[in-house]
Amino acid sequence: MTILASADGGSGPAGSHRADTDTSWLDAGEIRSALDAHIREDATLIREVLAKSRELKGLTAGEVAALLQVRDPELTEELYAAARAVKEAIYGKRIVLFAPLYISNFCGNACSYCAFSKDNRTLKRRALTIEEIRRETEVLIDQGHKRILMVAGESYPRGFDYVIEALEAIYSVRRGNGEIRRINVNLAPLEVDEFRRLHEIGIGTYQLFQETYQRDVYEAVHLSGRKRDMDWRLSGPDRAMQAGIDDIGLGALLGLGDWRFDVLALMKHAEHLESTYGAGCHTISVPRIEPAHGSDFSNSPLNPVSDEDFKRLVAILRLAVPYTGIIMSTRETAEMRRETLALGVSQISAGSRTNPGGYAAQLDQVEDDFDESQFSLGDHRPLDTVVRELAELDYTPSFCTACYRNGRTGEDFMHWAKSADIKQKCGPNSVGTFMEYLIDYAKPETASAGEQAIARDLAEMGTEERRVSDVILDRIRSGKRDVFC
Q: What is the rounded average pLDDT of the residues 87-113?
A: 93
What is d(CA 41, CA 35) in angstroms, rounded to the nearest whole number? 12
Task: Check residues 347 and 365 and name the one with the higher pLDDT.
Answer: 347
The predicted structure's pLDDT at residue 371 = 54
Cβ pair 145, 399 in contact under 8 A: yes
The predicted structure's pLDDT at residue 83 = 98
Q: What is the rounded average pLDDT of the residues 12-26?
A: 59
Task: For the chain, give percent helix, strand, coil, nearest 5.
Answer: 50, 10, 40
pLDDT band (50, 70, 90) for residue 297: confident
What is d(CA 67, CA 49) in angstroms, rounded to the nearest whole number? 8
Strands of 119-197, DSSP E: 147-152, 182-186
What is d(CA 292, CA 111) in angstroms, rounded to the nearest whole number? 12
The predicted structure's pLDDT at residue 181 = 96
What is d(CA 440, CA 177) in angstroms, rounded to the nearest whole number? 8
Lowest mean pLDDT among 6-20, 285-299, 464-478: 6-20
The predicted structure's pLDDT at residue 8 = 30
Pairing of strands 110-111, 347-349: unpaired
Report residue 364 CA to chain centroid gap: 29
Q: What is the rounded average pLDDT of the residues 122-147?
A: 96
- Tens of pLDDT, residue by residue over 317-332, are 999 999 999 999 888 9
Query: Among residues 252, 243, 169, which one has the least CA distance to residue 209?
Result: 252
What is d(CA 124, CA 372) in angstroms, rounded to the nearest whole number? 5
What is d(CA 386, CA 351) in angstroms, rounded to the nearest whole number? 8
What is d(CA 208, CA 234) in angstroms, rounded to the nearest whole number? 9
User: H helices of 144-258, where?
Assistant: 160-172, 192-201, 215-221, 230-234, 236-242
The predicted structure's pLDDT at residue 156 = 87
∠ at Cα 65 (63, 69), nearest 5°? 115
Mean pLDDT of the chain: 89
- Tens of pLDDT, residue by residue over 165-182, are 999 999 999 999 999 999
CB neighbour list of residue 152: distance below 8 Å, 6 or more residues apart: 102, 103, 104, 105, 106, 163, 166, 186, 187
Q: Is 416 exposed, middle or buried (0-12, 13-18, 19+ CB in 10 A)?
A: middle
The predicted structure's pLDDT at residue 117 = 92
Lowest mean pLDDT among 72-76, 106-110, 137-141, 421-425: 421-425
Cβ pair 34, 258 in contact under 8 A: no
- Tens of pLDDT, residue by residue over 451-472, are 999 999 999 999 999 999 999 9
∠ at Cα 213 (211, 218), nearest 5°? 65
**What b-and-e string marks burial along 118-133, b requiring 16 or more CB atoms within 10 Å of the CB?**
bebeebebbbbeeebb
Relative orientation angle of helices 334-341 and 307-320, to the nearest 10 degrees = 30
Q: What is the rounded average pLDDT of the residues 324-351?
A: 93
Asked whether the predicted pLDDT for residue 135 surpasses 50, the reply is yes
What is d(CA 70, CA 166) in angstroms, rounded to the nearest whole number? 45
Cβ pair 37, 61 in contact under 8 A: no
The predicted structure's pLDDT at residue 361 = 87
Instruction: Go through the chain and tell me how many residues it has.
Output: 485
Task: Check residues 20 and 11 and name the one with the higher pLDDT.
Answer: 20
pLDDT band (50, 70, 90) for residue 18: very low
CB neighbour list of residue 47: distance below 8 Å, 6 or more residues apart: 75, 78
Q: What is the rounded average pLDDT of the residues 246-257?
A: 95
Q: Is 474 exposed, middle or buried (0-12, 13-18, 19+ CB in 10 A)?
A: exposed
